[in-house]
Amino acid sequence: MIERMEPQAMTTFRRRRFDPAISNPRGPGIQYQCEICGDRLDSCSEHAVACSCRNLVLDVDAGRISAKDPTRVCIIEGGGGQELKRSQQQGG
Ligand SMILES: [Zn+2]
């Protein structure tokens, strides 16, 4: 009997610090998460959005992301809503 290694659920997204001093990346799969309320904002939003506690504000018109407390914000890359899950079933 061959025991197959089950692939671990790998987290493909990367988290990094939000730094308002440098340009804020925007694009598909890039999200900003407020660590205070836990809300995530899509960087590709077409309109201005803010998190529940208003710490994180995505100002689309100005093309920037501002935060009252940048140390409590992180950028999540590759965290888009698409989750690829492979499930293989072999009859037998
Ligand atoms: Zn918040």
Domain membership flag for residue 9: no
Cα separation, 33 vs 22, in Å, equals 17
> Is 57 a domain residue?
yes
Q: What is the pLDDT of residues 66-80, one digit of tens each?
A: 999 999 999 998 854
Angle at 76 between CA 73 and CA 81, to 5 degrees: 125
- Domain around 62: 25-89
d(CA 91, ligand 1 centre) in Å? 47
Q: Which residues surround ligand 1, an ion (CB under 5 A)?
A: 34, 36-37, 51, 53, 55
Structure confidence by residue, pLDDT tens digits, 46-61: 899 999 999 999 988 8
How many domains, the chain? 1
- 18 vs 23: which has the higher pLDDT: 18
Task: Give the Cα separation of 28 and 9 in Å (integer).
Answer: 22
How many whole angstroms from 38 Cα to the centroid of ligand 1?
6
Q: So what's the pLDDT on residue 86?
A: 47
pLDDT of residue 11: 56
How many angstroms does the Cα of residue 69 sit away from the middle of ligand 1?
Answer: 10
Q: Is residue 18 part of a domain?
A: no
In a domain, 53, yes or no: yes
In this prediction, residues 21-47 reach a mean pLDDT of: 89
CA of 67 from ligand 1 middle (Å) equals: 9
